[in-house]
Amino acid sequence: MTSFHKEIERRLTFAIISHPDAGKTTITEKLLLFGGAIHVAGAVKSKKNTRKTTSDFMEMEQARGISISTSVMGFEYRGRKINLLDTPGHADFSEDTYRTLTAVDSALMVIDSVKGVEERTRKLCEICAMRKTPIITFINKLDREGREPVDLLDQVEEELGVAVCPMSWPVGRGREFRGVYSVPEKRLVFFDPHGRQGGEGSVEISGLEDPLLDRMAGSSAARLREEIALVQGVYPPFDRKAYLEGKLTPVFFGSALNNFGVRELLDCFVDIAPPPLPRPLEGGSEISPYAEKFSGLVFKIHANLDPRHRDRIAFMRVCSGVFERNKTYYHVRSSKPYKTSNPTAFMAQDRTIIDQAFPGDIVGLHDTGTFKIGDAVTEGEELKFTGIPSFAPQIFKTVFNLDPLKSKQLDRGLDQLAEEGVVQLFTRLGSNEKLVGVVGVLQFDVLRYRIEHEYKALCRFEPSDYTTACWITWEDRKALDDFVRRHEPKLCRDREGRLVFLARNRWMIDRTMEAEKGIRHFFTSDY
């Protein structure tokens, strides 16, 4: 195996997904602790602790205790280079999560043991299933009074449509939570709140009949034996092929807040998660990570990552070959050369300039407006990656400038934040009136906050009657002219100049399009 192949094989790139408040950002911190990337974890919501979580670097995220934007972090563990992407859990920022899932090879799903499978968990699992993305599941907050583990496993199977394979099992629940039994290792790890859970926290036992189990687990030992017998009789043994195909999810139990059960999860992840996989291209083909020539996919853009420098960073997944600093590449969409002297690797808000990056790595490129989400960078090949559409917004509002002297700043802010994917921006046909389209109302708060704090402009948003939209294509020019003449007040263009039809509801779109000849409509922008 060449050194190039070894570098690819040792990389693991995954996203953490969950419903809000399931503990996703907390478990991110604990994984970074085990990887040695940080030495102390920030409390997500603690008012007594002034430290901030490492991944939630935006001021607004720190104030609200939620993730608004995907954070990228890298660390080493057991000889593997792990690229971790902490995604927003809130539904209002779902498009950022969807885009992130196009740049990873597997996912870690976090479920709250008290609440079980929730709405966002279902949706994100559907997105993973569409892409056949392998999922490892961590059932969190076992130190609280929650649902029975078997009930949680049944719910995962029934509602998410995936087989489960328990890889660990809790010894007790809530106040009686004593530890976790590692099923494949036959190892008992006792509960030590806030501990690192290293070797000193585990007890090796030769099997469930070992008398040491009774001495260490006390009254929970008998129940553990019964439950493990049930687990091994009901649930299938681990099948890596089924896991890689997205048909089976290994399940771990623990308490991320207390670092408990995280080591078992991370060790298993390193053992079974897939290395960098081929990425899909337009036309149904794909590109292998082992291809000699470099190719990369821009899946996220973030302006003002460092407010002191007003910078703009494009996040690029290396898909094949080796990315090298100071080398000139080809920007496919513009057909122009591209060269970067300061590519960076990420540890949340901390960045390090790198000389090389391999398939699976996430690289930050300083951007002056060159890149858009979905762009390909190559060594000259005309590649176009698929799978990063925009979805039709559900809420529209008209933008009004509150300070005419800051019109340029407002326009620049709206344009850059729309390019990031924070919102979608539309311009009315026949006028310069701007409409902002979002999935959830919280996006307006983020937009207003960032416009004011990053671009020093003021604006307000007035409600619109529209609640849905579709992209329009046509078969001949006359059909388009007739359509525009009849429906101009409901038409606008997106940032790419594509024609968009606005409506009060989905029924109105269906009714309108049934009557139109030569006009086609789509609810995602990747038609």
**Which CATH number is 395-522 given?**
3.30.70.3280
Q: Could you read off the pLDDT of 61-99 as tens digits, one per residue?
A: 445 444 434 578 888 999 999 999 877 644 444 566 777
Position 6 scores a pLDDT of: 94
DSSP letter, residue 84: E
Residue ranges in the chain modelled with pLDDT below 50: 41-57, 60-62, 64-69, 89-93, 348-349
- What superfamily does domain 3-69+90-95+102-272 belong to in CATH? P-loop containing nucleotide triphosphate hydrolases (3.40.50.300)
In what order do the strands lie in the sheet containing 395-401? 459-463, 395-401, 434-438, 424-428, 491-493, 499-503, 468-474, 519-522
The secondary structure of 135-162 as a DSSP string is EEEEEE-TTSS---HHHHHHHHHHHH--
d(CA 166, CA 176): 20
DSSP letter, residue 252: E
Among 16, 17, 19, CA closest to 120: 19
Position 46 scores a pLDDT of: 40
Position 201 scores a pLDDT of: 60
Among 239, 254, 270, 233, CA closest to 169: 254
Fold agreement between 3-69+90-95+102-272 and 279-378: yes
For residue 237, which phi and psi values (nearest 5 degrees)? -65, 160
d(CA 489, CA 316): 38
d(CA 174, CA 158): 25
Helices (H) and strands (E) in the chain, counts: 14, 31
Residue type, 458: L
Position 202 scores a pLDDT of: 66
CB 73 within 8 A of CB 28: yes
CB 27 within 8 A of CB 17: no
Give the pair of three-digit tokens for residue 181.
């039994």
Contacts with 40 (C-beta within 8 Å, 6 or more apart), sequence order: 51
Position 70 scores a pLDDT of: 59
Q: Could you read off the pLDDT of 120-179 as tens digits, one per residue?
A: 788 778 878 878 899 999 999 998 998 999 999 999 999 889 999 999 999 888 888 878
The reported pTM is: 0.78
Position 373 scores a pLDDT of: 85
CATH top-level class of 279-378: alpha beta
Q: Which residue matches tokens 């997105």?
A: 127
d(CA 503, CA 484): 14
DSSP letter, residue 123: H
Query: Where in the chain are the domains?
Result: 3-69+90-95+102-272, 279-378, 395-522
